[in-house]
Amino acid sequence: MNYVTVEMICAHTGKHRNTVANWIKATGTAAERFPGVHGLRIPLREANKMIAKCQPGLPPLTECRAAYGS
């Protein structure tokens, strides 16, 4: 899995969906709508860059953590 959704980022960071959406807008992260995915789809590498900017103390989101939401 090379992509994560906003819900996966919320589960990893412990933040609300609106907060994560504001992070995406503020950092200019490339997010796309994709058929079959509810909401936005963000490349894993871009999501990790965004998390590092907005919450520097958190570990990066790995594919395993993204799949299981923790």
pLDDT in tens, 3-55: 888 888 999 999 999 999 999 999 998 888 877 777 788 999 999 999 999 99
For the entire predicted model, the pTM comes to 0.81
Q: What range does the domain containing 46 cover?
A: 3-68
Q: Among the residues of 1-70, which ranges form H helices? A: 6-13, 17-27, 44-54, 63-68
> What is the total count of domains within the chain?
1
* Strands of the sheet with 32-33, listed across from one edge: 3-5, 40-43, 32-33
How many beta carbons lie within 10 A of that of residue 4, not counting itself? 25
Q: Which residue is associated with the tokens 């998390």?
A: 51
Q: How many CB atoms lie within 10 A of CB 65?
A: 15
